[in-house]
Amino acid sequence: MTLKDGKTGMSLRVDKVGDSELKQRLMTMGLIPGTRIKVLPSAPMGDPMAIGLRSYNLALRRADAEKIEVTEIKEGAGA
């Protein structure tokens, strides 16, 4: 699934970040494969979407979120 498919409150693990320009930009912000993130409430129209990452929040356009592959982390599944 992609980050764009994530729903508010979901805990996710980043598996892959898309194109090289986006990948470089997001990696400098700490969004790298293996990172655990949480989907936060989004803007009223749903774009941009917000995620909790490490100790801060990050807003991403849905077009960029669609290029980030993630896996849902089930609570109590060991993370």
Inform me whether the pLDDT recorded for 79 exceeds 60.
Answer: no
Which pLDDT tens digit goes with each residue over 38-77? 999 988 887 899 999 989 999 999 999 999 999 999 876 5
CATH class, domain 3-72, is mainly beta
pTM recorded for the entire structure: 0.86
Rounded Cα distance between 30 and 47, Å, is 21
- pLDDT per residue over 6-38, tens digit each? 999 999 999 999 888 888 998 898 899 999 999
> Is the CB of residue 79 less than 8 Å from the CB of residue 12?
no
